[in-house]
Chains A and B, each alone.
Chain A
């Protein structure tokens, strides 16, 4: 059999994700593949980016020691999000295991005892303690939570670049000027750079919006050869917050172990650590311009300095594989105020390793990749949809039976999620989900404004004993020092 292994990979883009891909692929492929980075320098780097637990897991899996970028002045760990609107302040925890009484999870107990207005999330309580508490320091019967992190993007990028150069990954600081394709299979064989250098390639991983617009989108629209490998995304990508800007605004006195989300026309993230406050703004570019966003920030923080801006790619179709090019630009350019997009990107990278192609770039393999990626994207968007719905419900009639707010249309899938949760606090089970059920559960508590049901079997249990258990749980939570 002819040897079909891919030996040359080109990663296009100058983003953190581009370099992260290079290092992870280098480690996963044990250095047996030549990896080049072509830095299409069209985007500014976010000074800080959010990483979920999956980010840490993957780095650990491939033996990438993050210690140099996880020093207290470079990163901030948190386990919950504080959501502030004009009327309310709510908390959303990164719980990954909820406390249980005889197999019934906490939300069921709170609903039974009509105490749903109280947020007893362990992750939230730990966040509010205003000091770093590691999950292993907490007794397991109280539950488990994940730590997310805000990482200094410049430091992490520097770390990645150093590591890449150390292992021999080559980088080219020039944009792609043209491509040359094989006339038989349409695979891109060569990249010609602006400085006339020619890079031979067998697999391209694209993280660059510029490259996508210039070389991929147009050909994809003209493509009819593989309709199974493209999904209409126009109707699926439903969030209005498709643009993002980041500002360094002020000195902050204290570190906080949560992030704050302020809701208005835009969604604002506040992170405070290491003497700085970072504000990330997610906004609807059809309703407000970047300049207006900047002015709004300046009105509050006169010394604010904009450090990054980006907008999601607005495409009609999403096609992950185009011949020998894996297009991940949409994924890392997507903006989501609640969920670390790095998780989504890393899941895609892990799928690439699971379904690593050969030089034929088999179409069913590509279709399976696309299918799995779309499952993740759909979940990611569904979570965003439910989050925006939850935010909008703040000002509405809490007893409303109509699940549609004025401005947010719930997806059908989310309507079923809410219906099931309202009926009995249950959630659907999914195999290897992007977002685990406990995280959904916390969001559903917000989305239903605490008006949800419980497992009816609880009626059969002794309420006094359940109350006693809950009081004990609360007491233990209170022992977590605030």
Chain B
């Protein structure tokens, strides 16, 4: 079968998305056959998305053959075991959404049902008291694989806090070593052929770069997918209305937790992310409910240490493209869609966009089947994560803020409504729901009406013994763990 092949791919934009794409493409696509060019301009800044990540990034690095110690050293990374949410249910509440399930499936029944029954019988422990990772994180500890080998908690998940700009730089080096050609320049014109497919880019200096396929990593601008191909943006801001963020870096605090901290405030939330050499800070807000000056004042209160950089304001709109792949162009990263960083999913969505494209790399003759598959998969990912983020807002019980009252009372997507109703009724979740639903729902005081009725066959004494055993196992395992800082120092030494 004679088919026309893609031989040259141009990536537009050199932020995290651009260089992740370039590195992964260079790793997968042999350089003697595929030419990969990345066009970026130093005149255009990058957003530097996703200082906080989820465990999938480890898979990305592993596929690329990146050494963990080198990665941690170069990106000033720290380790992350989950996210601590403060003030999300009610003011003063705090819970951890850890990576991986809390407790384990026992006799075919999920652990949260055991906790629910125990809770109804007077157990005062929080749900995350039964998460090994949450308990380690609260003690600023990090599990060492070797120490836990063969033990109950040996298969734990973790990720990193990274300096996203350093990560992009690190991947640039990796990509260029593997033959990616970087072109410095600002795209002035995008030329299309008769079918509206993209033919070439014309840079400000007059240079023309033609290619068979184009990846739009130009960020919110969507230089190709939006400005050229006019693929509509689906606005989700009626569900996720925060639209502004102030960000700044500060000096490191004394206590470095292996988790992201997300604290709710009257019109949004604020984050704290520790790196090896500094803290990343941000305050996200809805400008309809909070003026910029008020946000700036609140942000300053939020900072615990001396600023290293000037605060800068970012504006955004939540939503995604109607199609991520259109004609001979795929939008990866912010050009494809934006979901606020509450669950640290930006880099994950970039990664998914890259891997799915490589998995479906098409011939040029007819790309329609691959395109359809790609768009369906990415749509599902964006929607599933969107629903999970809405869940955090919707489940609040605050009574003193218009912003939060609106979130409580808003109409939520049908897909979320159904899942929420099922959890509310019987604590059931289904495969493929993003995140650890019981941790978030219970953490925000949203308890199912019923635990699994089969636990009525368990006596109170048996249940108490079961819960105590779970706790003891966690306490035993975390006893001799190193601190997260010690672990990092040993790793990068």
A contacts, CB < 8 Å to B = 1, 3-6, 28-30, 32, 111, 114, 353-360, 362-365, 367-368, 372, 416, 419-420, 422-424, 426, 428-429, 431-432, 451, 453, 455-457, 459-461
Contacts and interface: CB of A to CB of B under 8 A. Distances in A.
Contacts of A30: 107, 457
B1 interface: yes
A428 to B, nearest CB: 6
Contact of A455 (B361, B373, B377): B361
Given A362-B450, A457-B30, A461-B30, A368 B428 contact: yes
A353 B109 CA distance: 9
Given A32-B457, A353-B108, A460-B34, A365 B425 contact: yes
A364 B107 CA distance: 23
Nearest to B6: A456
A457 B363 CA distance: 10
A372 B450 CA distance: 21
A457 B426 contact: no
B422 A365 contact: yes
A428 B373 contact: yes
26 contacts: A1-B120, A4-B450, A4-B453, A6-B453, A29-B454, A111-B1, A353-B108, A356-B452, A358-B452, A359-B453, A362-B425, A364-B418, A364-B425, A367-B422, A368-B430, A372-B430, A416-B372, A419-B369, A422-B369, A424-B360, A426-B370, A429-B377, A453-B363, A455-B361, A457-B33, A457-B361
A105 to B, nearest CB: 12
B490 interface: no
B5 A456 contact: yes
A392 to B, nearest CB: 22
Contacts of A364: 418, 421-422, 424-426, 428
B28 interface: yes
B375 to A, nearest CB: 12
B455 to A, nearest CB: 8
A423 B369 contact: yes
Given A364-B426, A419-B369, A424 B452 contact: no
B422 A460 contact: no
A357 B430 CA distance: 15
- 3 pairs of A and B residues whose beta carbons are closest in the complex: A460-B33, A358-B453, A419-B369
A61 to B, nearest CB: 10
B193 interface: no
A5 B120 CA distance: 16
Given A354-B428, A355-B428, A456-B361, 16 more contacts: A1-B450, A3-B456, A4-B450, A5-B456, A30-B457, A356-B452, A357-B426, A363-B425, A364-B422, A364-B426, A367-B418, A419-B368, A424-B363, A453-B3, A459-B33, A460-B34
Contacts of B70: none
Contact of B369 (A360, A416, A429): A416
A422 B30 CA distance: 24
B362 interface: yes
A453 to B, nearest CB: 6
Main secondary structure of the interface of B (DSSP, over half): loop
A5 B366 contact: no
Contacts of B363: 423-424, 453, 456
Contacts of A461: 30
B432 interface: yes
Nearest to A355: B428
A371 B368 CA distance: 29
Nearest to A460: B33
Interface string B440-480: 00000000001011101100000000000000000000000
Interface in B339-388: 359-363, 366-370, 372-373, 377
Contacts of B29: 457, 460
B194 interface: no
B32 interface: yes
A426 B363 CA distance: 12
Given A364-B425, A456-B6, A460-B34, A432 B431 contact: yes
A103 B70 CA distance: 26
B425 A459 contact: no
A358 to B, nearest CB: 4
B370 A420 contact: yes
Interface string B22-58: 0000001110111000000000000000000000000
Nearest to B34: A460
Contacts of B369: 416, 419-420, 422-424
A299 to B, nearest CB: 45
A456 B361 CA distance: 7
Interface residues of B, number: 42
Contacts of A460: 29-30, 32-34
Contacts of A368: 422, 428, 430
Contacts of B450: 1, 4, 358, 360, 362
A372 B430 CA distance: 9
A42 to B, nearest CB: 32
Contacts of A111: 1
B473 to A, nearest CB: 23
Contacts of A354: 108, 428
Given A362-B425, A457-B30, A460-B34, A356 B453 contact: yes
A480 B450 CA distance: 56
A455 B362 CA distance: 8
B62 to A, nearest CB: 14
Contacts of A365: 422, 425-426, 428
Nearest to B427: A365
A456 B456 contact: no
Contacts of A420: 369-370, 373
Interface in B175-199: none
Given A368-B422, A456-B6, A424 B362 contact: yes
A32 B109 CA distance: 15
A459 B29 CA distance: 10
B366 A423 contact: yes
* Highest count of chain B CB atoms <10 Å: which of A29, A358, A372: A358
Contacts of B3: 453, 456
A428 B372 CA distance: 11
Nearest to A4: B453
* Highest count of chain B CB atoms <10 Å: which of A365, A423, A461: A423
* Highest count of chain B CB atoms <10 Å: which of A353, A432, A453, A456: A456
A363 B424 CA distance: 12
B453 A5 contact: yes
Contacts of A4: 450, 453, 456
* Highest count of chain A CB atoms <10 Å: which of B361, B369, B421: B369
A453 B1 contact: yes
Nearest to B372: A416
A209 B361 CA distance: 49
Given A358-B453, A364-B426, A457 B28 contact: yes
A424 B372 CA distance: 14
Contacts of A353: 108
A280 B189 CA distance: 67
A362 B423 CA distance: 11
A6 B457 CA distance: 10
Interface string B90-134: 000000000000000001100000000000100000000000000
B32 A426 contact: no
A267 to B, nearest CB: 29
Nearest to B33: A460
* Highest count of chain B CB atoms <10 Å: which of A356, A363, A432: A356
* Highest count of chain A CB atoms <10 Å: which of B107, B370, B422, B432: B422
A465 B450 CA distance: 60
A416 B370 CA distance: 9
